[in-house]
Structure 1
Amino acid sequence: MSEYILEMKKITKTFPGVKALDNVDFKVKRGEIHCLVGENGSGKSTLMKILSGFYPYGEYDGEIIFDGKVQKFKHIHDSEKVGIVTIYQELALIPELTVYENIFLGHEIKDKLFIDWNKTIKSAIDVLQKIKPDLDTSRKVKDLGVGHQQIVEIAKALTKNVKLLILDEPTSSLNEDDSENLLKIIKDLKNHGVTSILISHKLKEVIEVADSITVLRDGKMVAYLDKKEEFTEANIIKYMVGREIEDIYPKRKKREFGEKIFEIRNWKAFDPKLDRYVVKDANMYVRKGEIVGIAGLMGAGRTELALSLFGNAKDYKVEGEMYFDGQWRRFKSPSEAIKSGFTYLSEDRKVLGLILDFDVKTNTTLAGLNKLKKGLFIDENEEIIIAEKYKESLRIKTPTVEQKVMNLSGGNQQKVAISKWLFVKPKLLILDEPTRGIDVGAKYEIYALMNKLVEEEGMSIVMISSELPEVLGMSDRIYVMSGGKIVGELDRTEATQEKIMAMAVEY
């Protein structure tokens, strides 16, 4: 028996206008945790989609050998039959079904001809005990946040007969506690003989769990690292981006902030669907040219606060006072907020941030089409110029701005979503998990862009993030939320991870 459970040889995959993979050799030992890293657009997800059968045999060149046999998968079900289970970054859940229905969707527990719902519910509860014991299995997936939806997807995968588990950015939507819990599960699976391939941009996670690492860059395999060698972030980053990055958080200029651009007093938001307040008596302010971070655990109310302010798209019952740009405001719709210079980048780019079937150009200019009007029509030449400008400045990897956004990698989709709001030139920009699913090189570029926006253009930014190093590295001040309340405020000079976590678990 070979020591390698998987060997992929000379894999080449081409899309219109771009070679996604170029003669990639990839191998994984039995019973190990192998991490696959690289910048967005490097080919990681494409390689795994070939392995899973998403891209069927015949649509790529090269050979797949799994468990000693040459495989020619024509469908995802073919790979699952031999024990390869994939959790994609794009979640495959049905919103209208319950948690337990989604977990066993496609491999239902039956009693003769009918589904045994009692066993289904019990089994769903049992598997969730390992990941999120307090998640109500009777809730519909559409009522869950993106983080809890990811947990459902993970539970779904764990119910199958797994030999090789592929996880594409599984912790990108999880808080630190849930991320640590998932990494423990992966380690436990290893102890039971299950091999895992983990795609992650969180290099600390990679270093913590990896037995070996493959690095892709621009569709080519550029490095294979074994645990016998020393794993360091600096070394991995050098291979990923082709250069060394000394400090992931760009240096900030010392400056004086302007007047308050935004303030809320005793702000509340009641969710009729949940029959409870999701935001309670929140008080905060933001000054011109300031980056304010909002930290907290999943369910703390950070996103709910942002949505209740940005035109209240969720139809919360809101109370309290809000002042923006010197006036008392309560936006009746997101479009009214946008016209006033108040914008919000959603944490869920695929559903709320972008129109995936539209091209890069259209998504970039969608929120500010009035700027491009030429009489009754849109100036299409100017639209292309604008889109090309943001393609270059944000290093969006796409062969053309007329490429559909659905064909871009997750990180490049996020860059398009950011460019949409930059085109509007807002006075206040709320960024909800702005670097989720983005590689370390692109993160640096976005951080540098944030600094430029506040330092040179006087914009104000509120950044919601689950990554505490990011909050600490980028914020001038930090608010901490817990149980729907703002429970603390820290200046960047006094803030530490320990202080933030102590506040975050207060309620």
Structure 2
Amino acid sequence: MANNILEMHSITKTFPGVKALSDVNFKVEEGEIHCLIGENGAGKSTLMKVLSGVYPYGEYEGDIVYQGKVQQFNKISDSVEVGIAIIYQELALFPDLSVYENIYIGNEVKKGSVINWNQTIVKAKAMLNKVNLKVNPEVLIKDLGVGKQQLVEIAKALSKDVKLLILDEPTAALNEDDSENLLELIKQLKKQGISCIMISHKLKEVVAIADKATVLRDGQTICTLDANKGEINERTIIKHMVGREINDIYPKRPEKKIGDTVLELVNWSAYDSQLGRDVVKEASLTLRKGEIIGLAGLMGSGRTELALSIFGNPKNYKLRGDLALNGQPRKFKHTSEAIKAGIAYVTEDRKGNGLFLLQNITNNVSAAKLSGISNNGIINDNEEIKVAEYYKESLHIKASSIEQHVGKLSGGNQQKVSLGKWLFVGPNILILDEPTRGIDVGAKFEIYSVMNKLIEQGLSIIMISSELGEVLGMSDRVYVMAEGRIKGELAAAEADQEKIMELATQ
């Protein structure tokens, strides 16, 4: 009989007007990697917040049994004390403190009542060795990349004698190399007897690493799949996640009507005065009407910098080279000029830069074009409501109403609001930077379908994506960037993952 380190029985959690979890059952064996999967809004993060004490005992129904004992966690420190640690997608580190200070903050190494800093550094080195991170423990967190910061978070958890490690979308912001390193570390921790719960939307990672996978849908437990029984594969997971078969994750357009060139860059460069170097170097590309071009490359390759330099140059790069729209040379001094010229940019950081999380759907959708709902400088509330209702319906935004705060929506629905905001501007060229980052497979399918509809209507799309499957599945042509340069162009028919990675690592 399996020895379970964790059992969650009949967990029910209700928010005002919403039942987030309904009679959920979830079990994890000792030394097991157990993936928790489901669409955005399925209840995954809520379940883990119940487990970790973010939602204390008394605010939910059901029982948590950990290491054979019923637990009543009233705060996060209660779960930490018994060996449960949770690492969120947004890392909880202090950027201006050193690595060793971050690892032992709140858990200081003391001699009497005085912190023993020398011993702290020695112990921090031991923790860093456990996570295979070779950095000076005295370096500041802000001087490390995201992948290394993630490992510091895990080292911090290990310093507290963690027995059950919870990782919420741990690879969402990592490049492929850092993602592989992290997954390998999770396997090593399993060999050391540490159990792991991993929330992930990346199904290939789930298939590669999970011993078991539990699927949640609409706040309920749907099933638990077992790798030893051959049950963990993408098709089976998708079927249970969305309640239906998705035979083609990347929907094909019925007919491609690609027209004349709408955007052309020739020897386009962008100099970042803060970094003291070119972040885009002599890039040349074309975009035609009714076409999706994919921008592929590793993190730091210059893809976002290229997009921002086109979109009115909000970073104030020193630009060189030529940009033409519909054959006419153009120079934009501000993003407002790019918007007026028909260019829109959906940022990869929807929470930080793309949306007003504390405002409702209505205010967010109209934010980029207030002139479209105003008369003589006065906002017409009825027009604003009509616009918001239109995009809520046409983009299938799941919300109680257009008055719902955007911060309360799932990631996929936040992305749709961001998309609606820029579609209201009426662009001819749409730049999508990581359009499906952090959203589930069902929401991805809907975003892809919207993209195809926009292309059929004559828009042109530049799509930046770190998911090679997405680049290959949605692009008509692919440009590959590395170190600020475009290393090659591939037609959809000839592109594959090996060719893209070969160009991206040149």
TM (norm. structure 1) is 0.92
Show the counterpart of 1:30: 30
Displacement, 1:436? 0.7
Show the counterpart of 2:312: 311
Show the counterpart of 2:426: 425
Range with greater deviation from structure 2 (469-478 or 221-230): 221-230
Q: Is residue 2:278 matched to residue 1:292?
A: no
Q: What CA distance in whole angstroms lies between the structure 2 residues aligned with 1:124 and 1:338?
A: 50
One-letter amino acid of the structure 1 residue matched with residue 272 of structure 2: D
Q: Is residue 2:46 matched to residue 1:17?
A: no
Tell me the SS of whatever aligns to 1:344: strand
Range with greater deviation from structure 2 (463-472 or 363-372): 363-372
Show the counterpart of 2:66: 66
| Residue correspondence of structure 1 range 236-251 to structure 2 within 5 A | 236-251=237-252
Show the counterpart of 1:47: 47
Show the counterpart of 2:212: 212
Displacement, 1:375? 4.1
Displacement, 1:245? 0.7
Show the counterpart of 1:499: 499
Show the counterpart of 1:445: 446
Show the counterpart of 1:389: 390
Q: What CA distance in whole angstroms lies between the structure 2 residues aligned with 1:211 and 1:29?
A: 10
Tell me the SS of whatever aligns to 1:389: helix
Show the counterpart of 1:269: 270
Q: Is the 8 A contact 1:125 1:137 kept in 2?
A: no
Range with greater deviation from structure 2 (366-375 or 424-433): 366-375
Structure-2 change in CA distance of 1:430 and 1:101 (3 Å): farther
Displacement, 1:272? 2.8
Tell me the SS of whatever aligns to 2:228: coil
TM (norm. structure 2) is 0.92
Tell me the SS of whatever aligns to 1:318: strand
Q: What CA distance in whole angstroms lies between the structure 1 residues aligned with 2:467 and 2:37?
A: 19
What is the aligned-residue RMSD (CA, Å)?
A: 2.7
Q: What CA distance in whole angstroms lies between the structure 1 residues aligned with 2:106 and 2:369?
A: 43
| Residue correspondence of structure 1 range 351-366 to structure 2 within 5 A | 351-366=352-367
Displacement, 1:339? 2.5
Q: What CA distance in whole angstroms lies between the structure 2 residues aligned with 1:486 and 1:79?
A: 49
One-letter amino acid of the structure 1 residue matched with residue 20 of structure 2: A
Tell me the SS of whatever aligns to 1:283: strand
Structure-2 change in CA distance of 1:332 and 1:105 (3 Å): farther
Q: Is the 8 A contact 1:296 1:466 kept in 2?
A: yes
Show the counterpart of 2:487: 487
Q: Is the 8 A contact 2:98 2:137 kept in 1?
A: no
Q: Is the 8 A contact 2:104 2:120 kept in 1?
A: no
One-letter amino acid of the structure 1 residue matched with residue 236 of structure 2: N
Q: Is the 8 A contact 1:88 1:167 kept in 2?
A: yes
Residues 431-470 of structure 1: CA distance to partner in whole angstroms, max 9, x if unpaired? 1111111111111111111111011x21111111111111
| Residue correspondence of structure 1 range 400-479 to structure 2 within 5 A | 400-455=401-456, 457-479=457-479
Q: What CA distance in whole angstroms lies between the structure 1 residues aligned with 2:148 and 2:31?
A: 28
Show the counterpart of 2:170: 170
Q: Is the 8 A contact 1:127 1:158 kept in 2?
A: no
One-letter amino acid of the structure 1 residue matched with residue 302 of structure 2: G
One-letter amino acid of the structure 2 residue matched with residue 441 of structure 1: G
One-letter amino acid of the structure 1 residue matched with residue 452 of structure 2: N
Name the % identity.
Answer: 60
Show the counterpart of 1:341: 342
In the alignment, structure 2 segments of 5+ residues that lack a partner are: none
Displacement, 1:287? 1.0
Range with greater deviation from structure 2 (205-214 or 374-383): 374-383
Range with greater deviation from structure 2 (346-355 or 151-160): 151-160
Q: What CA distance in whole angstroms lies between the structure 1 residues aligned with 2:248 and 2:212?
A: 25
Displacement, 1:278? 1.8
Structure-2 change in CA distance of 1:278 and 1:105 (3 Å): farther
One-letter amino acid of the structure 2 residue matched with residue 438 of structure 1: I
Q: Is the 8 A contact 1:73 1:79 kept in 2?
A: yes
Structure-2 change in CA distance of 1:129 and 1:28 (3 Å): closer
Q: Is the 8 A contact 1:131 1:155 kept in 2?
A: no
